[in-house]
C-alpha cells in the first residue's frame, strides 16, 4: 500500500488505502478499454466480464444470489434508491437506531416529509458491553419500540461511532414475526471488509456497502444486497439505460433482479480495482480469520488505552471489530478537544479522525496494522 509508506494510518473506517495491485488493475483496465475501443463492439465483452466477475464475488461475500446484488456509487445511494421505491402510506413509522450516520438519517427525514411518515428512535448508542448481552438488549428494546405502524427498521451492522455490532440476522427474524413484517435497512459501510457479512446481508432487505473503506478499494463504487420481497415491491426511482431489461427505443421494462436499481454509465476500471482488493483480502484467510487479525490489533489498542490516565473508551470491553473510539481529558481534568488531539497526532505522521456524535476520537485497526504501529500511537497519546 503506497499510502502507508510515510505515515501510521488508522482511518480505514473513512477510507482504506489502495493496494498497489489494485491500482495496477485499474490502470490496466483503462489501457485495455482504450486498446479495444472505448465504445466499440470489441469492448463490451470485456466490460461485461469485468462487471460480472465483481458481482459474483460480492454475491459470495454476501451469501446471496448474484441477481440480488446491485452496484451503486456509495452506501447512501445503496440505501436510498431502493428505499424510495417502496410503497409507503401516510402514517407509516420508520424506527431508526440512534447511532446511524447523518447522511442516511437526512434521507430518511426527507422521505418522511414527502410521504407523511413518522420517525421514531431505537436506543443502541449506549450499548457498550459484550456482544451477546448487547444482542439481547437490542432484541428487548426493539420489541418495546415496535408498533402496529412500524414499516421500516434502520440499523447499521457495525456502528460507525461506538464500534459496537448489531445482531442483524436476529433483528430480521424478530421483524418477520411482526404483523406488518417491517423492512430492514442496514448501513453496512463499516462491515464489508471487516466483519463476516453473509448472514446479515442475506437476512436484510437492504444491505448497502461501499468498497473504499475496509475493502481498500477505489472510491466511487459500492454495492447493495436486496431481498427477494423488496425486489417484488420496490420500483426504480432513478432510471437509466442500465435499469432496463433491454436496450433501445421503446424497449421498456425494468430488470426483474437487482439491476433495476443501477442507473447508467459507471467507471469499469473501478470494478477491476475493487475485485483485486477483495482477492487480496481473501488471500489473508476467510472472513472469520480476517476478523480475528483485526481484533488482535483493536484489542491491543483498547487494552493500552485502559492503562492511560485521562482516557475513556466508548466500549467497556475490547471491540468486536476494528473501531476503537475514545475521549481524553487534560491535566486539569477538562475534556480535550478531539480535533486538537487528531491534529497533534497528524503532525507526527499518525492519522485518526474525530467524530461529532458522540464527540470523540476514532481509530481503526485493519489487517495491515502492526503491533509497532499501535504501540507508537499509545506512546504518542502519552506524550500529549
pLDDT value for 250: 64
pLDDT value for 251: 60
Region 368-379 average pLDDT: 96
Verify that 130 and 195 share a domain, yes or no: yes
**Residue 183 placed within a domain:** yes
Verify that 251 and 293 share a domain, yes or no: no
Domain extent for 169: 28-281
- Candidates 14, 7, 56; CA nearest to 214 is 14
Torsion of CA 4, 375, 132, 143, to 10 degrees: -60
Verify that 326 and 195 share a domain, yes or no: no
- Candidates 167, 185, 198, 155; CA nearest to 288 is 198
User: Which residue, 249, 281, 313, sits at the end of a domain?
Assistant: 281
**Residue 66 placed within a domain:** yes
What is the number of structural domains in the chain? 2
pLDDT value for 319: 98
Per-residue pLDDT at 156 exceeds 90: yes
Positive or negative torsion for Cα 280, 17, 69, 252: negative
pLDDT tens, residue by residue, 215-262: 999 999 999 999 999 999 999 988 888 888 877 666 668 888 899 999
Read out DSSP for 218-238?
-TT-EEEEE-HHHHHH---SS
Task: Give Cα 383 distance to the centre of its chain.
Answer: 33
Distances from the Cα of 100 to the Cα of 253, 328, 335, angstroms: 35, 23, 24
Q: State the pTM of this model.
A: 0.96
Region 371-382 average pLDDT: 95
**Residue 375 placed within a domain:** yes
pLDDT tens, residue by residue, 101-112: 999 999 999 999
Verify that 172 and 224 share a domain, yes or no: yes
Longest dimension (CA), the chain: 72
pLDDT value for 224: 97
Q: CA–CA separation, 99 vs 123, rounded Å?
A: 8
**Residue 1 placed within a domain:** no
CB within 8 Å of 174: residues ≥ 6 apart: 139, 142, 143
Do residues 232 and 212 lie in contact, with contact meaning Cβ atoms separated by under 8 Å? no
pLDDT tens, residue by residue, 38-83: 999 999 999 999 999 999 999 999 999 999 999 999 999 999 999 9
Verify that 241 and 263 share a domain, yes or no: yes
Euclidean distance between the first and final Cα of the chain, in Å?
29
In the chain, the percentage of residues whose pLDDT exceeds 90 is 88
pLDDT confidence of 359, banded at 50, 70, 90?
very high
Positive or negative torsion for Cα 92, 95, 96, 98: positive
Do residues 216 and 39 lie in contact, with contact meaning Cβ atoms separated by under 8 Å? no
pLDDT value for 294: 98
Region 195-209 average pLDDT: 98
Verify that 246 and 324 share a domain, yes or no: no
In the chain, the percentage of residues whose pLDDT exceeds 70 is 98
DSSP one-letter code for 262:
-
**Residue 10 placed within a domain:** no
Verify that 58 and 132 share a domain, yes or no: yes
**Residue 259 placed within a domain:** yes
CATH number of the structural domain spanning residue 106: 3.40.640.10
Verify that 258 and 295 share a domain, yes or no: no
CATH number of the structural domain spanning residue 335: 3.90.1150.10
- Candidates 291, 258, 274; CA nearest to 222 is 274
User: Which residue, 259, 281, 303, sits at the end of a domain?
Assistant: 281
User: Which residue, 281, 302, 325, sits at the end of a domain?
Assistant: 281
Tell me the pairing of strands 311-313 and 323-328: antiparallel
Q: CA–CA separation, 338 vs 326, rounded Å?
A: 9
Verify that 349 and 219 share a domain, yes or no: no
Region 346-375 average pLDDT: 95
Verify that 136 and 193 share a domain, yes or no: yes
Verify that 265 and 311 share a domain, yes or no: no
Region 31-36 average pLDDT: 96
Q: CA–CA separation, 309 vs 325, rounded Å?
A: 16
**Residue 19 placed within a domain:** no
pLDDT value for 244: 86
Verify that 41 and 167 share a domain, yes or no: yes
Per-residue pLDDT at 130 exceeds 70: yes
pLDDT tens, residue by residue, 166-199: 999 999 999 999 999 999 999 999 999 999 999 9
On average, the pLDDT of the chain sits at 95
**Residue 170 placed within a domain:** yes
Amino acid at each position: 500500500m503506497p499510502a502507508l509508506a510515510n505515515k501510521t494510518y488508522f482511518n480505514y473506517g473513512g477510507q482504506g488505502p489502495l493496494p498497489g495491485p489494485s491500482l495496477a488493475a485499474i490502470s490496466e483496465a483503462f489501457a485495455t478499454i482504450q486498446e479495444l475501443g472505448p465504445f466499440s463492439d470489441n469492448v463490451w465483452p470485456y466490460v461485461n466480464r469485468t462487471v460480472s466477475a465483481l458481482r459474483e464475488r460480492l454475491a459470495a461475500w454476501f451469501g446471496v444470489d448474484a441477481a440480488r446484488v446491485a452496484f451503486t456509487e456509495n452506501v447512501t445511494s445503496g440505501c436510498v434508491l431502493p428505499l424510495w421505491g417502496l410503497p409507503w402510506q401516510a402514517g407509516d413509522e420508520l424506527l431508526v437506531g440512534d447511532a446511524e450516520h447523518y447522511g442516511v438519517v437526512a434521507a430518511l427525514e426527507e422521505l418522511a416529509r414527502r410521504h407523511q411518515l413518522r420517525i421514531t428512535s431505537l436506543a443502541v448508542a449506549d450499548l457498550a458491553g459484550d456482544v451477546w448481552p448487547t444482542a439481547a438488549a437490542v432484541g428487548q428494546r426493539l420489541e418495546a419500540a415496535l408498533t402496529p405502524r412500524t414499516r421500516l427498521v434502520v440499523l447499521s451492522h457495525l456502528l460507525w461511532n461506538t464500534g459496537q455490532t448489531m445482531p442483524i440476522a436476529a433483528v430480521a427474524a424478530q421483524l418477520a414475526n411482526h404483523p406488518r413484517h417491517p423492512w430492514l435497512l442496514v448501513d453496512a459501510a463499516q462491515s464489508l471488509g471487516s466483519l463476516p457479512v453473509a448472514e446479515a446481508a442475506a437476512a436484510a432487505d437492504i444491505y448497502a456497502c461501499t468498497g473504499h473503506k475496509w475493502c481498500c478499494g477505489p472510491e466511487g463504487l459500492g454495492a447493495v444486497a436486496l431481498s427477494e420481497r423488496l425486489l417484488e415491491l420496490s420500483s426504480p426511482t432513478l432510471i437509466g439505460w442500465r435499469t432496463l431489461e433491454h436496450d433501445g427505443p421503446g424497449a421498456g421494462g425494468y430488470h426483474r433482479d437487482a439491476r433495476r436499481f443501477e442507473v447508467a454509465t459507471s467507471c469499469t476500471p473501478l470494478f477491476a480495482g475493487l475485485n483485486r482488493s477483495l482477492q487480496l483480502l481473501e488471500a489473508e484467510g476467510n472472513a472469520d480469520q480476517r476478523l480475528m487479525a483485526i481484533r488482535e490489533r483493536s484489542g491491543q489498542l483498547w487494552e493500552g488505552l485502559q492503562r492511560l490516565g485521562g482516557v475513556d473508551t466508548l466500549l467497556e470491553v475490547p471491540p468486536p471489530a476494528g473501531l476503537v473510539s475514545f475521549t481524553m481529558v487534560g491535566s486539569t481534568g477538562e475534556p480535550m478537544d478531539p480535533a486538537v488531539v487528531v491534529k497533534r497526532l497528524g503532525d507526527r505522521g499518525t492519522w485518526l479522525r474525530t467524530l461529532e456524535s458522540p464527540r470523540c476520537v476514532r481509530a481503526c485497526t485493519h489487517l495491515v496494522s502492526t503491533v509497532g504501529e499501535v504501540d507508537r500511537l499509545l506512546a504518542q497519546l502519552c506524550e500529549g
